[in-house]
């Protein structure tokens, strides 16, 4: 009989006591313990079992779970007598920063303090005059006096709170402490999105140094997150840090489900005939050299409902990813368009994410998307075979069909405020209605232009960011009938957009060239349109379509001229 599939349980004890669906990952405990690393940082995409595995590690080692070997009976780790003796023998601090999601530094600091206050209060033997309790008392006094109680949160005391707690546990149990920190990078992602990165980096640099480097009470530690934040940002003092990323071989099968595990689960639930379709939707993750890893959140939801849907892709707002692509440069959008078309891209990867460089560093964007699970590695250069000075390149593609659907939905969302005008523009273009094209395109630009603006140019918004976002919208909405390509060579140059019909006998082809009004060279938008059309003709952009058998009379060429939010479209 198939076990009950329960959704969203991240407490190992609860899963085991309820005997709900669970795939044994206790070999992770043994692998980590025997690796002997002081501090291990493991990065995996969201919803990949990080929190559940940390709960499992806590309940295996913690003295609070002494004599709870029943939780591990029947699992791999319990087959080894040495580990049965190890269970429940260490003081463990388990803290998660998952709920630190604030749009300003004051609230982030307040949320961090609340987490530490709750943690301190679980230990009745801690002296009442500890620094966290002192902060709480001072906050009450500030509130009584009508002052902002956030000012009472001493950053130095907050940074030392994990270190201080480990000292109390070491003294009480006479044994060094295991520290487990889950979702360590969530506050930092929020800080970058909301503009208080520099402030929070200073706090965490001090906190992590105190907890994991200069801590005589520490025995071992694990940190988990989605990204490896640059050592220069917060880990500069931690030379004892073992970093395990999605390209590392360590713990490759400990997070996420292997294909064998998934197929056994399908058999258990009577869904063995869905293996091929399930693989298309949810497979594609690669950790180290281990391929065919499935994201567990989607698998569990599918086993529960029996329906295919974008479960994993819809578990967060994806605000950071959306912001990076929406506000990204022309090149970022062009390469993203290739990914949406099912192609791959080649790029260097830096797994140490420097958040304050994301705005202008394309490599950092692709590195973040890889770490977050939206991209997978197809291949990479062998470092040993590269010539001196050559950069290692990674070939990347969208991870699977679920991720592709998520991104398509994200692109459509960019034009949601002007959806009707956007759809009417596409219809007008396909009907060669120039007046309607101009009317609707100007409405779309007016309604959506600002969302593509980075706000970093004193001269105002950049039309290029808008119209290359617009090209991605065309790709998503017309891909069933047309092949959309951007910035490819044809004739004697590179066109901006080519819309090639999948069935040339039924539909026409289109070439779009975008230009921004240049007051030094042109007196009006009409001149800009004329320059765009002249470029299409002189560079012979239609040559590729003609070579494929599409007659010239079935190829429509349009020039788009932009001046701020104003657009003028002309036809050859």
Tokens 């033997």 correspond to what residue? Answer: 125
Across the range 421-445, mean pLDDT stands at 92
pLDDT at residue 315 greater than cutoff 70: no
Count Cα atoms within 13 angstroms, Cβ side, for 543: 14
Between 540 and 461, the higher pLDDT residue: 540
**Spacing of C-alpha 144 from chain mean position:** 42
Euclidean distance between CA atoms 26 and 9, whole angstroms: 17
Residue 279 confidence (pLDDT) above 90: yes
Q: What are the start-end ranges of the H helices in 283-416? A: 296-305, 319-326, 330-340, 362-371, 401-414
Mean pLDDT calculated for residue range 99-118: 93
Predicted pLDDT of residue 168: 94
Q: Of 167-176, 408-417, 486-495, which one has max mean pLDDT? A: 167-176
Task: Kindly report, residue by residue over 186-209, the tens digit of the pLDDT.
Answer: 999 899 888 899 899 999 999 999
Residue 447, pLDDT above cutoff 60: yes
Q: Where residue 358 falls among pLDDT bands split at 50, 70, 90? A: confident
Residue 512 has pLDDT above 80, yes or no: yes
The answer, yes or no, to whether residue 513 has pLDDT greater than 50, is: yes
527 near 537, Cβ under 8 Å? no
**What pLDDT is attached to residue 51?**
97
Mean pLDDT of 254-260: 97
What's residue 487's pLDDT? Answer: 77
For residue range 282-295, list pLDDT tens digits in order. 999 999 999 999 99
Question: At residue 464, does pLDDT exceed 50?
Answer: yes
Domains and CATH numbers, the chain: 12-244 (3.40.50), 257-305 (no CATH), 319-410 (1.10.10), 415-571 (no CATH)
Task: Kindly state the average pLDDT of the residues 298-320.
Answer: 84
In this structure, what are the phi and psi dihedrals at residue 567, rounded to the nearest 5 degrees? -130, 140
β-strands 482-486, 497-501 pairing: antiparallel
Position 459 pLDDT exceeds 50: no
pLDDT tens column, 295-304: 999 999 999 9
Instruction: Identify the residue whose tokens are 């390509």.
Output: 485
Mean local confidence (pLDDT), 306-330:
80
pLDDT band for 410, please (50, 70, 90 cuts). confident
């Amino acid at each position: 009989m198939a076990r009950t599939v329960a959704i969203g349980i991240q407490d190992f004890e609860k899963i085991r006591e309820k005997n709900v669906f669970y795939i044994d990952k206790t070999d992770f405990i043994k692998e980590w313990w025997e690796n002997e690393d002081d501090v291990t940082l493991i990065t995996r995409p969201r919803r990949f079992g990080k929190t559940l595995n940390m709960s499992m590690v806590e309940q295996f080692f913690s003295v609070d779970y002494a004599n709870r070997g029943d939780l591990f009976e029947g699992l791999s780790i319990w087959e080894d007598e040495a580990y049965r003796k190890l269970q429940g023998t260490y003081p463990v601090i388990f803290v998660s920063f998952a709920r630190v999601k604030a749009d300003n530094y004051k609230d982030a600091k307040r949320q961090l303090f609340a987490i530490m206050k709750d943690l301190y209060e679980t230990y009745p033997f801690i002296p009442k005059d500890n620094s966290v309790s002192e902060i709480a008392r001072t906050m009450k006094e500030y509130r009584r006096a009508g002052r902002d109680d956030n000012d009472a949160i001493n950053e130095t005391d907050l940074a030392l709170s994990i270190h201080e707690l480990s000292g109390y546990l070491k003294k009480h149990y006479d044994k060094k402490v295991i520290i487990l920190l889950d979702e360590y990078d969530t506050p930092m992602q929020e800080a970058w999105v909301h503009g208080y990165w520099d402030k929070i980096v200073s706090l965490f640099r001090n906190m992590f140094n105190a907890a994991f480097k200069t801590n005589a009470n520490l025995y071992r530690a694990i940190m988990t997150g989605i990204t490896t934040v640059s050592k220069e940002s917060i880990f500069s003092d931690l030379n004892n840090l073992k970093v395990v990323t999605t390209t590392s071989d360590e713990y490759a099968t400990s997070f996420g489900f292997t294909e064998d595990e998934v197929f056994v689960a399908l058999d258990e639930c009577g869904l063995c005939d869905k293996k091929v379709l399930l693989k298309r939707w949810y497979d594609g993750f690669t950790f180290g050299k281990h391929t065919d890893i499935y994201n567990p959140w989607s698998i569990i939801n599918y086993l529960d409902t029996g329906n295919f849907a974008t479960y994993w892709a819809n578990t967060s707002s994806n605000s950071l990813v959306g912001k990076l692509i929406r506000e990204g440069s022309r090149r970022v959008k062009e390469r993203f368009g290739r990914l949406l078309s099912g192609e791959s891209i080649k790029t260097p990867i830096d797994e140490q994410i420097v958040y304050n460089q994301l705005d202008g560093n394309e490599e950092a964007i692709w590195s973040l998307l890889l770490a977050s699970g939206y991209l997978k590695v197809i291949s990479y250069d062998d470092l040993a075979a590269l010539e001196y000075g050559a950069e290692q390149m990674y070939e990347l593609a969208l991870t699977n069909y679920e991720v592709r659907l998520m991104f398509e939905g994200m692109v459509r969302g960019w034009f949601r405020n002007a959806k009707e005008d956007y759809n009417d523009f596409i219809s007008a273009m396909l009907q060669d209605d120039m007046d309607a094209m101009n009317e609707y395109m100007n409405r779309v630009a007016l309604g959506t232009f600002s969302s593509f603006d980075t706000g970093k140019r004193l001269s105002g918004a950049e039309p290029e960011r808008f119209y290359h976002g617009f090209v991605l919208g065309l790709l998503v909405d017309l891909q069933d009938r047309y092949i959309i390509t951007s910035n490819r060579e044809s004739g004697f140059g590179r066109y901006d957009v080519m819309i090639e019909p999948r069935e040339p006998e039924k539909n026409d082809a289109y070439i779009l060239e975008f230009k921004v009004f240049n007051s030094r060279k042109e007196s009006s938008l009409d001149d800009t349109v004329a320059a765009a059309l002249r470029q299409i003709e002189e560079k012979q952009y239609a040559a590729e379509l003609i070579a494929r058998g599409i007659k010239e009379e079935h190829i429509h060429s349009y020039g788009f001229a932009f001046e701020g939010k104003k657009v003028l479209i002309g036809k050859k």
